[in-house]
Amino acid sequence: MEQPKKDKSEFEKIPVVACKYCKSLNIQEDGNGNDLCMRCSAINEIEHYSTIEEYLKITNNDQQK
C-alpha cells in the first residue's frame, strides 16, 4: 500500500532541537535520556526552535555577526 506524500510545508512546521554550542541538528538520545550532540559531544545542552525556519533565521544571524 502506498503512503500519501507529505507536503513540504508539513515538515517546515515540525519543532527542531539543536546544540546550544555548535548549532548542529544531529542530536541523539542515549539510553539514560541524555541528549548528546554528535558533532561536539555536548551533553544536555540543547535549544528548542518552533520551526526549521526559526532555527535557520537565528543561526544565519549568528554567522553574520
Domain count, the chain: 1
Residue 2 lies in a domain: no
Residue 53 lies in a domain: yes
Residue 60 lies in a domain: yes
Q: Which domain holds residue 37?
A: 15-64
Q: What is the pTM of this model?
A: 0.76
Residue 5 lies in a domain: no
C-beta of residue 29 within 8 angstroms of C-beta of residue 35:
yes
Residue 35 lies in a domain: yes
User: pLDDT truncated to tens, each residue of the chain (65 aa)?
Assistant: 666 666 667 888 899 999 999 999 999 999 999 999 999 999 999 999 999 999 999 888 876 66
Specify the 3-state DSSP secondary structure of 6.
coil
Ranges of beta strands (E only) in the chain are 16-19, 27-29, 35-37, 46-49
**Of how many residues is the chain composed?**
65
Residue 21 lies in a domain: yes
